[in-house]
Amino acid sequence: MSEAGHSASGEADYDAIVVGAGFAGAVAARELAAQGRRVLVLEARDRIGGRTMVGTFMGRRIELGGAGVHWVQPHLFAEMQRYGFGFHEAPLANLDKAYMMLSDGRVLDVPPDTFDREYNAAFDRFCARSRELFPRPYAPLDNPEVLALDAVSAHEHLHSLGLNELQRASMNAELTLYGGAPTTELSYPSFVKFHALASWDTYTFTDSEKRYHVAGGTHALCEAILADARADVRLGAEVASVAQGEAGVVLTLASGARFSASIAVLTLPTKVYPDVAFEPPLSAEKQRFIENAEMCDGAELYVHVRQNLGNTFAFCDDPNPFNAIQTFAYGPELGTLLKITLGRQSLIDIEDIDAVAAEIRKVHHDAEVLSIAPYNWARDRFTKTAWSSYRKGWFSQYKAMAAPEGRLLFAGSATADGWHEYIDGAVESGIRAAREARRFFENPG
């Protein structure tokens, strides 16, 4: 290859290079290949899947990243239908016990029916205007009032509702989990949009976030999509720089290898963009979004407890580090596997088994922790944040991150119109980027 990144004949190596082999990248690659394009996928990790990741713990498959799926998430559901994947149901219904840890550390043992009723009442109150604000949820900024309300934090709105102690604590725990930050930072309307996407229905929303996973695992679905692309895929290929000019784009890896194409589709998590040198630089609007918009300090953790605790769920209000603790599996011989989701991993060392055990015993007093399986997305150098959440004032700016710049197209869940904290948002964004690519090739001028 010449210094310009083209072959001796002057032709680019590929029509399109996709950076990232998560769901956004896999879908973009497949759609580009369906257009007849020569596609290269560059993935910095030694695996595909991005911020979804499947592992094993106590002989069971576990999801250590994005996992929640539902049929009201149309892009992902279509992919599951296309490749023959069904739903696996988590044991969230028919709880034996429900707990609420308040911000001061007190733990309430709440009858499950009461817990559901009070949480649902809080959620309904918080999202009471969802249909009014988002009559068409996939056009979330069409209502001018949404732009004005973006400056309102989730905390400010929550504390204006006159909720009781249990309602306020359970809703604040949920919001902390979604924001991956104190609720004083989270954009109020960015969360309400999820309620609108779930058919303006609290029960459906709750099912979409906690109850259903992909049968066979998210990794298998991502593999099926990427296999359909028949693209060249290179793992361990960390992109160091991206240069674009009139003839095309040249991507240089940390190893020094160089590849050229007519266009590039970038699906990096937002906070990773500063690790790549762009020539010319990205727009000022994108740079401001990258610096300010996202904040999620989240992580995932599985814990094996000797005792059979039954089917339980607990919300823990901020600043308690474990926002949601739910039974993943249980039985007389197994004991209990707990799945824990943290919005603010910086509040605890999730690799310290003693610290983890001490937190669990605040809810399950006699629990004997035998082993743990943590994954810290906020400290992963190829993500730097967990799920995509918007700081107040920045939800209204997400389209700046999604906008094409010359021969560069941008995808990833943070750029989605719809379910931006979910796999569905990543799939949606990959479809959009491929559509933008089609327009570029039809009219490259």
Is the predicted pLDDT of residue 67 greater than 90, yes or no?
no
438, containing H or E segment:
helix 423-442
Q: What is the pLDDT of residue 11?
A: 59
Is the predicted pLDDT of residue 91 greater than 90, yes or no?
no
Nearest-angstrom CA–CA distance, 170 and 158: 11
The answer to whether residues 415 and 140 touch, using CB atoms and an 8 Å cutoff, is no
178-190: average pLDDT: 97
234-249: average pLDDT: 97
Nearest-angstrom CA–CA distance, 325 and 312: 8
Report residue 441 as tokens.
Answer: 């090739």
Binding-site entries = 43-44, 239
Nearest-angstrom CA–CA distance, 143 and 78: 28
Query: In the chain, pLDDT over 70 holds for what percent of residues?
Result: 97
252-273: average pLDDT: 98
Would you call the peptide bond into 374 cis, given omega within 30 degrees of 0 as the criterion? no
Query: In the chain, pLDDT over 90 holds for what percent of residues?
Result: 91
Cβ neighbours of 440 (radius 10 Å): 17
Within 310-422, residue ranges assigned H as helices are: 353-360, 398-402
Tell me the domains of the chain and their CATH numbers.
14-50+217-295+387-442 (3.50.50.60), 113-206 (3.90.660.10)
Q: What is the pLDDT of residue 6?
A: 43
The tens digit of pLDDT for each residue in 382-416 reads 999 999 999 999 999 999 999 999 999 999 999 99
Q: Using alpha carbons only, what angle is made at residue 335 by residues 330 and 341, rounded to the nearest 5 degrees? A: 65
Cβ neighbours of 262 (radius 10 Å): 21
Select from 127, 205, 51, 154 the least CA-distant residue to 395.
Answer: 154
Binding-site entries for FAD = 43-44, 239
- CA 180 to chain centroid: 11
DSSP codes, 212-265: EEETT-HHHHHHHHHHHHT-EEEES--EEEEEE-SS-EEEEETTS-EEEEEEEE
Q: Using alpha carbons only, what angle is made at residue 252 by residues 247 and 255, rounded to the nearest 5 degrees? A: 160
Average pLDDT, the chain: 94
- Kindly indicate the confidence band of residue 4, based on its pLDDT and cuts at 50, 70 and 90: very low
42-52: average pLDDT: 96
Is the predicted pLDDT of residue 226 greater than 80, yes or no?
yes
The answer to whether residues 44 and 382 touch, using CB atoms and an 8 Å cutoff, is yes
- Kindly indicate the confidence band of residue 3, based on its pLDDT and cuts at 50, 70 and 90: very low
The tens digit of pLDDT for each residue in 281-314 reads 999 999 999 999 999 999 999 999 999 999 999 9
